[in-house]
Structure 1
Amino acid sequence: MIDLRLDDEHDALRATVADFARSEVSPVIGDYYERGEFPYPLVATMGKMGLFGLPFPEELGGMGGDYLALCIALEELARVDSSVAIALSAGVSLGAMPLYRFGTVEQRERWLPSLCRGEALAAFGLTEPDGGTDAGATRTRAELDGGDWVINGTKCFITNSGTDITSVVTVTAVTGGHAGTSGAEISTILVPSGTPGFDVGPSYSKVGWCASDTHELSFTDCRVPESNLLGQRGRGMAQFLSILDESRIAISAVGVGLAQGCVDECVRYASQREAFGAPIGSRQAIQFTIADMATRVHTARLAYYAAVAKLLRGEPFKQEAAMAKLVSSNAAMDNARDATQIFGGYGFMNESPVGRFYRDAKILEIGEGTSEVQRMLIARHLGLPA
């Protein structure tokens, strides 16, 4: 029989992060959310706890853990708030992981130690204003000139890209051929924060994830050394597609955490809130709704556990990652809607966790590959024609 219990080390991590989320994140995150302010003190504490270094080896400043450890931390954070969870998810799976997977020894030694300690953040510059799902239609260009890459273009919706501790953004750019064509050569290039010609736009006004950091980035004759090429020239799209496969498991854990948070809040509220002379939790309609919510969480958690297990075994996991992303984002959206209904007017107030969950859930069906993209990936792995 398959044993789905966490081992002692992973379970201890879960308990530690759960306690941090309840005792330190929960009391203050509502104010950060309302102000649209990045929670630097919480991120600093997460760094000291070693959360940003969880899946990286100790010799690079990491904790020597694995991808399951990261997902467990993300789930427990998202049970309370998705903004802090996505800061960790994007910082690790999208920011630092490309450096770890594809960087040279020198690039790793330069960037990863501070990223693993949470003293710095890295960002993933893929999406463009005219791109979105069609990431292969990259318009940003980089040309070699006198030993430098000269970059021109725009990226949008980039998380962790404009904080005071953002140190580097990995950018996809056309380095040969014609942009938007099948023959375009796309590479990835490291652009340090503060590089002349690299400008960070104003923070977006977002529906959800209001305490996370998201910006448009522009590059105008931005010069970086030729040695800032990340990985093999012309393999940028393939590199980032593989990174997205991994990060979909991480974002699945965020979705499971949000969905579980909805269950937590509804069980508490339904046990206390009285209507017509009895707690609303005694009503069968409420009981059935919460039971369905808990079932969605359980199913979605099993999906991301299965995906991360294949990743850790070194087996192909693209289909399982897509399934986990699809199931968990559905669970998050459905549970947020049901929780808001159970809470009634209180669920419509931003001061309530449920109100924030409702606003945060939708992006999980869009970011890091829409639900439609996940269905396409699953269908292709089933052998259906492209």
Structure 2
Amino acid sequence: MPEDVVLPIPNLALPQSLFVLSKPHLSHLHDNARKELLEGIKADQMAPYYRSVTAANALPADAALLEEMEAANTAELARLDTQLEEAEKMEGESDIADALQARANHFTRIGDKERAVEAQNLALEKTAGMGSRIEIVLTLVRIGFFFGDFDMISKNLAQAEELIEKGGDWDRRNRLKVYRGVHLLSIRQFKRGGELLLDALSTFTATELLSYNDFAAYTIIANVLTLKRVDLKKKLIESSDIIQVLPELPTLADLMKNLYDSHYDKFFLALATLEQTHLIPSRLLSPHTRFYVREMRILAYSQLLESYRSLTLDSLARSFGVSEEFVDNELSRFIASGRLHCTIDKVHGIVETNRPPLKSAQYETVIRQGDILLNAVQRLSKVLY
């Protein structure tokens, strides 16, 4: 296999379909997910994966289909084993490495995790070319994504980074940014993950991991939350790479434009739509839905409150298109947790901002972090002495 050909294996659309089928509240998406899952399994003859999927009752078991796929898997493995034997007898080390990699890719394609990982690691040991070694490690990362194995993802991302530092080319460096960015989003590190995705926006080639539209959606979702207002316009709203996909991502277009333009009632509607269409149904983002929606609301409230010393609850509620009771309850929670710097005068129906001076805020941060450090040192000293 030429080094510049990246096989899209395993098919990462399938665990997304399986995730949807595992959620009863996404029943309106089940028919399409079931169809895509079965078609993907048939296309790659994924007998081992089909067995696990039917065992979980995500698809009805079809004994004839399973038998047909297992026969195809056995025949293909026999062919690859013969190819490997011939390479070991007649060919050089590079041909043996290619045969090992082809065998590993077979197990990866059909969704046999244990044999795929073992075979990929063996191929890695026998492969000399730096580019091919990096590709094998990135394939192991994708296997980790496919099966939701975070330890495997972290371990192989670190290994890929080491290899790329030793001799990775421009394309693989950029693809690694996407892999790392997606992983960081999956563990709720939106700021660093968003930075990496944004950095790879104009050079995206990691189509074996996700489609460009999904990549653009993740880039917008992460960076709307973390970018400053001036950067939001410069790096997202006015980005030609983002502009070209916005017609296919109307909810995300509404979200960032209405936040930037301070149309908070429309922003809240877009956020609610985003929650239902992009967050809850997403295998990657679903665990972080409540966190993301809360943080986006805090961001919008903060942005509005920064413009005023005080404003009435009524005007605040009208700005967001919600009731006074809703705003009162939500602001109370965020104020109590220290996320919003304001007070509510319930008698007069007024919200007054009380942002601490910058130096005072920095001083409080230093004191708080200093206390944490001192406590850690004290605990360590007890262990050592």
> TM-score, normalized by length of structure 1?
0.25
Is the strand fraction higher in 1 or 2? 1
Larger Rg: 2
Query: Structure with the greater relative contact order (CA < 8 A, sep ≥ 6): 1 or 2?
Result: 1
Is the helix fraction higher in 1 or 2? 2
> TM-score, normalized by length of structure 2?
0.25
